[in-house]
Amino acid sequence: MSTEIAKAIVDGVLTGGVYALMAAGLTLIFGVMQIINIAQGIFVVLAAYMSYVLQTYLHIDPFVGLIFTMPLMFIIGVVIEWGFIRRLKPQNRTALSILVTFAIAIVIEGILTQFFSSDLKTLNAWYVEKSVHVMGFYLPYIYLLGFALAVVMLGALYVFLYRTRGGQSIRASVQNRAGAELIGININRVSAITFGLGAAVTAAGGMVFGATNSFNPNSGYDLISRLLVIIVLGGLGSIGGALIASIVALVIEDVTAVVWSPVWASTMFFAVLVVVLLVRPNGLFGRPEARAQ
C-alpha cells in the first residue's frame, strides 16, 4: 500500500508539473489583464492536435515539433488578444471576458470537430509506451520527459519575468496596471505578449497532455475546469501559487484514487479548492481584491 501511495505521490508531482505550466500561463494572463481566459483549455487541445498533425503527417517527433507549435500558439494568442480581448470595454470586463473567451473556445472546438471529428486521438512515440524502472516502480518516460520540459519552461519563464526588461514590464502591470501605464509601459503590447505567452506554454502542456491522454475536441472542458481550480487555489495572479497548487491538488487526487477510490478522486480535486477557500478566501498566495477604482 505504501509503495502505491508513494507512486501516487510521484505521479501527482510529475503530472502536477505539466499542469503547473499551463496554469502559470492562465494566472499570468489574469494578473496582467484581469481576465479569465476560459479558452486556455481548448488551447491545450488545439496544441495537442497540432502536435498530432505534425507527427502523423510530417513524422516530426512531438518534442521537436514544439519548435513549430510554440511560436504558432504564441501568434494565435496575440491575434486573439488584439482582435477580441482588447476591444472589451472596462465595465463588466470580467464577465464579458469570460463570455468572450468561452465563445472563442466554442468556435475553436467547432473548427476542430469539423476537421478532426470526435474520434479520440493520442500522440505516439517511443517514450510513450516505455517506462524506466526506478526504485520498485515503473515510470513512463513521457511523464519524466514532460516534467523535465515543464521545469525547463517554468525556469525560462522565471528568467524572462525576473531578469529581463520585458518581464519587468509584465510584473509591473500585474502589480499596478494604471501605475505601469503612467510610467510609460505600453499596456497594449504587454497584454498582447502576455496572452501570447499564456498560449505558447499551452503548446508544451498540450503536447504532453496529448501524449499521456487520449483527447478529442470535447476534452477542453475538463481541462479548463481543473486549470481554473488550480489558479484560484494558488491565488489569482501568483505563478508560484499556481505551481504549488497544481502539485498539491494533483497529488491529493492521485493519492485519493489509491487510498479511497478512483471514483471519488476527481471530486476530491474540486473539494480541495472548497476546503482551502474556507480558510483562505483568496487562495494560498492570493492578494485580497482591492476596491474597484
Q: Pinpoint the alpha helices (H) of 187-279.
A: 187-212, 220-234, 239-259, 262-279
By CB under 8 A, residue 182 contacts another protein: no
Shortest distance, position 252 Cβ to another protein, whole Å: 14
- Closer of 208 and 229 to another protein (Cβ): 229
Cα angle value 170/174/180 (rounded, 5°): 70
Using the 8-state DSSP alphabet, how is residue 282 labeled?
T
What are 124's three cell numbers?
A: 505516439
Shortest distance, position 239 Cβ to another protein, whole Å: 16
Using the 8-state DSSP alphabet, how is residue 288 labeled?
P
By CB under 8 A, residue 217 contacts another protein: yes
Query: Within the chain, what is the greatest distance between any pair of CA atoms?
Result: 58
What are 105's three cell numbers?
A: 473556445
What are 63's three cell numbers?
A: 518534442
Q: Which helix (H) or strand (E) holds 110?
A: helix 93-116
Q: Give the x-and-dash track for 57-86 against another protein (CB under 8 A).
A: ---------------------------x--
Task: Report the residue from 10, 20, 33, 36 that binds another protein according to the rule CB under 8 A.
Answer: 36
Kindly list the distances between the CA atom of residue 225 and the CA atoms of 26, 185, 221, in Å, as whole numbers in the listed order.
12, 33, 6
Listed ranges 30-38, 139-147, 162-170, 186-194: which one lies at the site for another protein (CB under 8 A): 30-38
Q: Give the x-and-dash track for 85-124 against another protein (CB under 8 A).
A: --xxx--x-xxx-xxx-xxxxxx-xxxxxx----------
By CB under 8 A, residue 134 contacts another protein: no
**Cβ contact 66:208 at 8 Å:** no
Shortest distance, position 259 Cβ to another protein, whole Å: 16
Q: Which helix (H) or strand (E) holds 134?
A: strand 131-134
Binding site for another protein (CB under 8 A): 30, 34, 36, 84, 87-89, 92, 94-96, 98-100, 102-107, 109-114, 217, 221, 225, 228-229, 231-232, 236, 263-264, 266-267, 270-271, 273-274, 277-278, 281-283, 286, 289, 291-292
